[in-house]
Amino acid sequence: MIDNLLTGFEAALTFGNLAFIAAGITLGIVIGAIPGLGSVTALAILIPVTLYMSPLSAIAFLVGVNKGGTSGGAIPAILLNSPGTPEAAASAFDGYPMARRGEAMRAMKFALFASVTGDTISDVLLIALVVPFAAVALQFGPLEYTAVLLFAFALLAGISSDSPIKGLIAIFAGVFLSTVGLDPIDSTQRMTFDNVELYDGLNIAPLAIGCLALASVIEQMFDLWRARGSGRRAEEAFRDTETKLPAREFFSHWKTIGRSALIGSGVGMLPGLGVTLAAFLSYGAAKRASADPDSFGRGNPEGIIATEAANSAVVGANLVPTIALGVPGNIAAALLIGAFVIHGIVPGPFMMTMHGDLIYALFASMLMANGVHLVIGRLGIPIWSLVARTPRALILPPVVVLCVVGVYLPAQSLFHVAVMLAFAGIGLIMRRTGFPVVCLVIGFLLGEMFETRFRQTLLLTKSDLTAVFQSPIALAFLALTVLILVRAIRRSV
């Protein structure tokens, strides 16, 4: 394996390849920082550009876009409390309070360093475990996935709100919204009102951007308006009082970094679970492991580290099922499979034998991309921090316009803009009444998979739910679900 990797480095370490990686990361960060235009949109837009590149340069460029796009979402989350993508939502929990107390640059440094470290750990695991983990992933059937999703719901409800019952209500409201559209098994209409735009269900981008980004922006604008009306001095801009982040301080959180990278890698290796789930599982694990869990949500850097290390770790690990099984781990990996096919590479069990040289060159490119990501991301932080020093009243209204453009661009649908504006209102009232908006978005995001796996389980077991006792994996996750719910409810009573 080491020989193959060295050969891969020999093929990948060219000026042209490094330039394509750097371009991919830069574009990814810039596009990822715009609400609505995350790494998936960036990949979708930029795949046609790669038609003129060699297969290795093309894949390296797209991997760079994916890495940059994933970490770029943390920038608006930290500076504006309006995460551009659901996976960056947990970064806002602690990043925004840090920015408010004058540590915007430190928060962005924590996010960048955690992202690069988590990504590197995940890439190393990808190289070492691509074959054996593919075998483990095959052990997960519909029943196990259903149990994992229930576990995730319980965990999310427990960590994202002071009231787990409100978290659960938001999650199941999201699950309900995910049932709009065609039935996944019968393909019959459900609550579409004969509107063709609803046949595919509500789109995640307008819903997530509306609830998470736009709702946060209008909430801040209402706060500024009210503060001015009541004669209080509005918080107009953040002053950067602390900017330095020594390497020793960052690596003093090595336990959180390692744990989060492993959680992100584990989730990434299971197809379909996604980046957002990894980020929240990791955030919850960091909070539970902390000696001061109450400091989470008030500007504890471990919250940023846990989120960013985990969501970036998914990027590399997602390629495990992609390469080993030909099964994309998430939408970004599905787009990468499309790019593989465009360049004559068929993902699947024979990929390692038929295109081994290219795959190891890709692994080498991924490792090199982490170094490039660190340099480009670090150079960009002072530029982004200008946003933090600009008065809020001048920053927030343009974000409303960018949200509209970000949602309109991918599908060029005014219906999506209307959905986003509607969900901004729902997100606003949820925020004001203490319901965790993130739970609604994640319930929606995982709802379709939850329904499909649950119904597959009912079909396979002929609705005999005692079948759960035949699966130790499912049983373990269900036991953990009950345990987490009981603990969360006892804590809140």
Partner 1 sequence: MTTPDDPTDAETGAAEPHEEAVGRATDLAAGLVLCGLSLFAIAWLIPNYTQPADSNFDVAPGFFPRLAAGVVLVLSLGMIGHRLLRMAATPGAASGVAAVAEFVAWCVIAAGLYLLLVHVGFLAMAFAAIALGSILSGSRNWPVIAALTVLLPLAVDWGAWLVFTVDLP
Q: Which 373-402 residues touch partner 1, going by CB under 8 A?
A: 391-394, 396-398, 400-402
Position among 87, 451, 481, 485 found at the interface with partner 1 (CB under 8 A):
451
Q: Pick the closer one to partner 1 by CB: 319 or 407.
A: 407
Q: Which stretch binds partner 1 (CB under 8 A): 5-13, 376-384, 408-416, 477-485?
A: 408-416
Choose, by CB under 8 A, the member of 382, 432, 465, 479 that binds partner 1: 432
Chosen residue from 132, 190, 292, 371 binding partner 1 by CB under 8 A: 190
Of the candidate residues 33, 75, 114, 175, the single one contacting partner 1 (CB under 8 A): 175
Q: Is 415 in the site for partner 1 (CB under 8 A)?
A: no
Size of the site for partner 1 (CB under 8 A): 78
Using the structure block, give the residue that is written with the tokens 């965790």. Answer: 436
> Are the C-beta atoms of residues 295 and 264 closer than 8 Å to each other?
no
In the complex with partner 1, the residue whose CB is nearer, 60 or 404, is 404
Q: Is 185 one of the binding residues for partner 1 (CB under 8 A)?
A: yes
Identify which of residues 9 and 454 has a Cβ nearer to partner 1 in the complex: 454
Is the separation of the CB atoms in 61 and 53 below 8 Å? yes
User: Using CB under 8 A, which of the segments 56-64, 68-76, 190-198, 320-328 binds partner 1?
Assistant: 190-198
In the three-class reduction of DSSP (H, G, I as helix; E, B as strand; rest coil), residue 126 is classed as: helix
CB of 284: closest distance to partner 1 in angstroms? 11
Inter-axis angle of helices 2-12 and 55-72, nearest 10: 90
Binding partner 1 (rule: CB under 8 A), the pick from 352, 422, 467, 473 is: 422
Element (H, E) at 372: helix 356-389
Of 179-187, 250-258, 324-332, 368-376: span binding partner 1 (CB under 8 A): 179-187
**For partner 1, the closer CB: 371 or 434:** 434
The correct pick among 408, 473, 475, 480 for binding partner 1 (CB under 8 A) is 408
- 293 interacts with partner 1 by CB under 8 A: no
Complex with partner 1: residue 232 or 248, whichever CB lies closer: 232
What residues from 42 to 71 belong to the interface with partner 1 (CB under 8 A)? 45
**Rounded to the nearest 5 degrees, what angle is found at the Cα of 135, between the Cα atoms of 130 and 138?**
120
Q: Map tokens 């005692």 to a residue.
A: 466
Which residue of 2, 3, 15, 188 would you call a contact of partner 1, by CB under 8 A? 188
**3-state SS string over 170-234?**
HHHHHHHHHCCEECCCCCCEECCCCCHHHCCCCCHHHHHHHHHHHHHHHHHHHHHHHHHHCCCCC
The tokens of 61 are what? 């460029």
Q: Does 134 bind partner 1 (CB under 8 A)?
A: no
Considering only residues 8, 72, 97, 377, which one is a binding residue for partner 1 as defined by CB under 8 A? Answer: 97
Contact with partner 1 (CB under 8 A): which of 7, 454, 480, 487?
A: 454
SS3 (DSSP) at 236: coil
d(CA 418, CA 408): 10
For partner 1, which is the closer residue by CB, 378 or 431?
Answer: 431
Q: Say if CB 307 and CB 282 are below 8 A apart.
A: yes
Residue 433 binds partner 1 (CB under 8 A): yes
* Alpha carbon separation from 447 to 180, 219, 423, 444 (Å, rounded): 11, 27, 17, 5
Using the 8-state DSSP alphabet, how is residue 396 labeled?
H
DSSP string, 25-91: HHHHHHHHTSTT--HHHHHHHHGGGGGGS-HHHHHHHHHHHHHHHHHHTHHHHHHHS--SSGGGHHH
Distance of closest approach, residue 122 Cβ to partner 1, in angstroms? 26
**Per CB under 8 A, 78 contacts partner 1:** no
Member of 228, 255, 389, 491 binding partner 1 (CB under 8 A) = 228
CB 329 within 8 A of CB 318: yes
Nearer to partner 1, 354 or 486 (CB): 486
The two tokens of residue 334 are 């599905």
404 Cβ partners below 8 Å, 6+ apart?
417, 420
Piece in contact with partner 1 (CB under 8 A), picked from 6-14, 66-74, 294-302, 479-487: 294-302
Decide: is 461 part of the binding site for partner 1 (CB under 8 A): no
Considering beta carbons, is residue 46 or 58 the nearer one to partner 1?
A: 46
Residue in 315, 424, 440, 488 binding partner 1, rule: CB under 8 A: 424
Residue with tokens 């660190």: 374
Binder among 4, 176, 288, 352 for partner 1 (CB under 8 A): 176
Q: How far is the CB of 490 from partner 1 (least distance, A)?
A: 13
> Is residue 230 at the binding interface for partner 1, with CB under 8 A as the rule?
no
Contact 282, 306 (CB under 8 A): yes
Stretch that binds partner 1, among 326-334, 346-354, 361-369, 420-428 (CB under 8 A): 420-428
Rounded Cα–Cα distance for residues 427 and 243 (Å): 32
Are residues 286 and 266 in contact, defined by beta-carbon separation less than 8 angstroms? no
Tokens of 455: 């119904």
- Does 361 bind partner 1 (CB under 8 A)? Our answer is no
